[in-house]
Structures are given as structure tokens and as C-alpha cells.
Structure 1
Amino acid sequence: MEMRQSTESTFFLKKRVKLSLLIGLLIVLYVGASLILGFNSEAFLYVDRGIIWLVKNFIPNGHSMTYWHDILQALMKTLLVSVAATSVAGVLSLGLALIGAKTTGPSKILSWLIRGFASVMRNIPIVGWAMLLLFSFKQNDFTGFLALLFLSVGFLTRAFMETIEDVDVEKIQALQVTGANYFQVISQAVLPEISTPLISWLLYMAENNLRDATLVGLLTGTGIGFVFDLYFKSLRYGPAGLVVLAIIILVIAVELASNFVERRIAA
């Protein structure tokens, strides 16, 4: 009994020591980063003042509603660019995934190449894509579309490949034994099996693209991001707050619609 209590005490002592070391390491990292950057930690004492200023200035008022037409127009443009990028990326990613998946791909070398391509595309952040594309395509909607498209292709290709590889191999082999060709196997065995998760991935990507499109708009000078930047820099804080409120409402609406579609598909 005493040995058991001693073992338990030693176990929890080790846990406390590890936790203390972790907290100490985080504190050291924070202090070191603050000293290097010249960050003034006293700013935390004035957080309440910042929140009060935010509430006073960014709450939309009656005058802000006169900007509603321009905000709604930019918001719909952002939504359409997001949906378009997701749709095109879905088609391209499905083709790449079918070629790159282990169960449906023609060769291992091609599979490795597509996996590498997808990893590169999805590991470059959306801001990186937007900044790179600005040099070639300048500030316009097409630049934002391409930035969302490239990131979406990388993410969806990898997600679709993993989904395809989860398909029961016996179903594919059964069709192959009966003499079915490659396209018949894909259309009769693979696509019906993965249709539900593919739609779920597309809806998830559409939600992410809608959020990312706001940030991309700040760089490309388009959509709702540009409208917010314009109002904020011209000190029109009320309309800028209305832009934030409109973005929140749209994101919640899209998420609710996605959840509804997923529930209907799963039913």
C-alpha cells in the first residue's frame, strides 16, 4: 500500500515538474521576444480603454446605413469570388486526386509528384499567394480569385486523395474482374462512395475561402476587404463597423447553410 502511494506521489510530482518547466519556458520565450521586439507589456493595462474606444466608434449608427448599398454589393462580390474559386478548385482537385491516389492512380511516381504539388500549394499561406500574384496580375478580382484557387487546389487535392484511398479496394477489384475499364470503375465504384465526403470538404473549403477572401481583398484592393480598408483609413469608423457586422452575418449564414446541406445529405 505504501509502495503504491509512493509511486502515485512520484508520478504526480513528475507531472507538476513538467508543467512548471513548460510554463517557465513559455514565460522565458515571451520575455525574450518582448525584449527583442521592444514590446511594452504595460500596454495590457490599457486594454479596457481600447475596448471602450472600439465600442464608442465602431458601433454602426444611422449615418452608417447610408453605406449599406455599397457594402452589400462588395459583400456579394466577395461571396461569388469565394464560391467560384471553390467550385473550380473542386473540379481540378478531383481530377488530380483520382490520378494521385494509391488505389486509382496509374503510377507511384505520379502519385508522389501530385502529393508534393498539393503540399507545396497548400503550405503557402493565402497572404503569400496574394502578394506573389500581385506582381503579375495587379490589384483586381482575378488576383484574389487565383490566390483562393491555388490554396484551395492544394488543400482539396490532399483531402480528396485521402478520401479516395479510404474506399474499399474490394469493390474496385470486383469491377475490374468483371472487365470494367478505368472510367467505369471510377464512375461506378469510387465516385458514388466518396460523393458525400467530397461535398462536405467543398462546403468546408467554401466557408474558409469566404473568410480568407476578406483578407485577400485588403491586398488586392477588391471586395469587402477593400471597402473596410477604405472606410477605416478615411476615419469612417461607423461604416467600417457595419462592414464587420455584415461579414459576421454572412459567415454565420453560410455556415448554417452548409450544416443544413450536410444534414440533408447524411439523412
Structure 2
Amino acid sequence: MPADIFAKRRNDRLLFFGALAALTAGSIFITNYDPVAGFTSIGKAFVWGASNFYPNARALTKLPDIALKLRDTILMSVAATTVAAIFALMLAMVGSRTTRINAVFGAIARAIASVLRNIPLVAWAMILMLAFSQSQLTGFLALFFGSLGFLTRAFIETIDEVSIHAVEALQATGASHTSIILQAVLPSSLPQMISWLLFMIDTNIRDATLVGLLTGTGVGFSFDVYYKSFHFHEASLVVLMIVITIICIEMMSNYIRRIIL
């Protein structure tokens, strides 16, 4: 019997990898992609980047303007994430099995989180541009809705992990639903929620650059303008500033996580 099970698993794996190989080969054939040319061009891309894609003295004169756009991008990301976290906490309280009022509202809250979470950020930006055109509000709302879905799901799972013993103890004393949330649920789950919030801020600062390309705002729009006008040195400075900012924010986030967890 064990031999039959191992043989079946081996055959299933072979079938999976065979199907994956066939799908890959079919994709290459349909799209006329040349893998050899793709890999051999990597070296040429590095050579071109070393020759053209680096900040020079002229690009450094644009640093104040780039820094201002980067500041706007960071502030928009933080604002969208923190506002989304407030609404996500409300939905999570309704959707969690530990704190929900009833199963119907809980299912609705989970469904809302699932829908919002599964719509890509780029899709949100495209949808919202139809109503708000290219503006800061479009970028803010795109980050807000993407964060709301993710944080709601993360907060629900965090609350569900809270020790049920503390909740049952308060229920046995006749504590109200609000008291149980304030005295048992939030104190236990708040550190992990803050960790998820910091993670979402990191993610949104990265994604805000892409959103800026679509909405015509922030540092992403600056990169788009410089790159399309063949000002590659200025474009490289934008990329360098984004990378430095993300590394610094990630270091700060990791430090805060070590303190609160």
C-alpha cells in the first residue's frame, strides 16, 4: 500500500511538471518569444545602463524637485494606509469569528475583504481614473481600496488567533461585547496589527510609484516624464532616491516591529 501511494504521488508530480513544461513551450511558441535572444541581451542591458543610466551633475540639480515629489508619494501612501487601517479594523471586528455580531454580517465583511483584496492595484487605478481622471485623489483611493482589502483580511486572522480563554472569561463575568473587545481582543492583537500596518506602508510606498505612472502624480510621474524625454540621468536619480527611501523605511519598520513584538 505505501508503495502504491508513493508511485501515485510520483506520477502526479510527473504529470504536473509535464503539463507545466508543455504550457511554457506553448507560451513561447504563441508569443514568438526568443529565450536565447532574451538572455543574451541581459549583458547588453547592463552595459547600456552603466553608460547612460546614472545620475550626473545636471541630474543632481533636479534633486530638490524629485525629493518634493518623493515626499508627496510617501505622505500619500502613509495617509491611504492609515485611513484604510481604521476602516479595516471596523470590518475585521464584524468579520472575525471572535468578535462578530452574527454570522451574516461576518460573511458580508469577509466577502468585501476578499473582493477588494483580489482586485490588483493597477486595476483600481484604471477604474478610478474613469471617475476622477489623473489626480492625487485617484492615487490615494487606489492605495486605500487595495490596503483596505488586505488589512481587513490580515486583521481578521489576527483577531481569530486571540486566545479564546480570555474572551470566555470575560463573557462568564457578564462583560459587554464592547468591554470584551477593549479589554481582551485589542490588547492581545494590537501589536500584530501594527506590524501588518507597517508592512502595508512599506508595500504602498513601493506601489505608489507605479500608481503615479498611471495617475500622473508623485515621483512615479517624474520618472515617466524624464524617461520619455530621454533624460536618463534624471530618471536614474529618481530610481536611486526611491531605492534609498524604501531601504530606510524598511529598516525603520523592522526596528519598530522588534520593539512592539
Would you call these one fold, judging by a TM-score over 0.5?
yes
What is the alpha-carbon distance in structure 1 between the residues aligned to residue 107 and residue 63 of structure 2? 49
What is the DSSP-based 3-state SS (H/G/I as helix, E as strand, rest coil) of the residue aligned with 2:100? coil
Report the counterpart of residue 41 of structure 1 in structure 2: 35
Q: Would the alpha carbon gap of residues 18 and 117 (structure 1) be closer, same or farther in structure 2, given more than 3 Å must change? A: closer
Whether 2:147 is the aligned partner of 1:152: answer yes
Distance across 2 between alignment mates of 1:56 and 1:25? 42
The TM-score normalised by the length of structure 1 is 0.90
Q: Which amino acid aligns with 1:239?
A: E
- Report the count of equivalent residues: 260
Q: Which moved more, 1:212-221 or 1:31-40?
A: 31-40
Amino acid at match of 1:165: D
Match of 1:179 in 2: 174
The two structures have a TM-score, normalised by structure 2, of 0.92
One-letter code aligned to 1:117: I
Pairing partner for 2:237 from 235, 242, 248: 242
Provide Cα deviations, 1:138-158, integer angstroms capped at 9, x if missing partner. Answer: 101110010000011101111
Q: What CA deviation, in whole Å up to 9, does each residue of 1:25-53 have, x standing for no partner?
A: 44432321122112233422222112211
Q: Which moved more, 1:30-39 or 1:117-126?
A: 30-39
Once the 2 structures are TM-superposed, how far is the Cα of residue 56 of structure 1 from its aligned partner? 1.1
Match of 2:49 among 46, 54, 57: 54
Q: Is the radius of gyration larger for structure 1 or structure 2?
A: 1
> Are 1:168 and 2:168 an aligned pair?
no
Cα deviation digits, residues 51-87 of structure 1 (max 9, x gap): 2112211111111101101110110100001100110
Letter matched to residue 139 of structure 2: G
The aligned counterpart of 2:116 is 121
Deviates more, 1:179-188 or 1:155-164: 179-188
The CA deviation at 1:106 is 0.6
Instruction: Please list, as runs of the form range in 1=range in 2, the aligned pairs for 1:220-235 lying within 5 A after superposition.
Output: 220-235=215-230
Instruction: Report the residue type matching 2:223 in the other structure.
Output: F
Letter in 2 for 1:145: F
Which residue of structure 2 aligns with residue 203 of structure 1? Answer: 198
* 2:10 is aligned with 1:28: no
2:251 is the counterpart of 1:256: yes
State the alpha-carbon separation in 1 of the partners of residues 196 and 136 from structure 2: 24
Residue 173 to residue 23, structure 1, CA distance change in 2 (3 Å):
closer
3-state SS of paired residue (1:102)? coil
Gaps of 5+ in 2: none
Q: Does 1:193 align with 2:188?
A: yes
Q: Aligned partners of 1:129 and 1:13: how far apart in 2?
A: 46
Provide closer, same or farther for how the CA distance between residues 262 and 16 of structure 1 changes in structure 2, counting only shifts above 3 A.
same
Do the aligned partners of residues 63 and 17 (structure 1) sit closer, same or farther apart at CA in structure 2, a change above 3 Å counting?
farther
2: CA distance between counterparts of 1:30 and 1:207?
Answer: 33
2:61 partner SS: helix
How far apart, CA to CA, are the structure 2 residues paired with 1:25 and 1:49? Answer: 33
Structure 1 position 14, deviation (Å)? 9.1
Q: Which amino acid aligns with 1:208?
A: T
Q: Distance in 1 between matches of 2:173 and 2:151?
A: 32
SS of 2:30's partner is helix
In structure 1, how many angstroms separate the alpha carbons of the residues matched to 2:173 and 2:21?
65
CA distance in 1 between partners of 2:8 and 2:153 (Å): 40
Q: How far does residue 20 in structure 1 lie from its aligned partner after superposition?
A: 6.7
Distance 2:214 2:181 in 1: 41
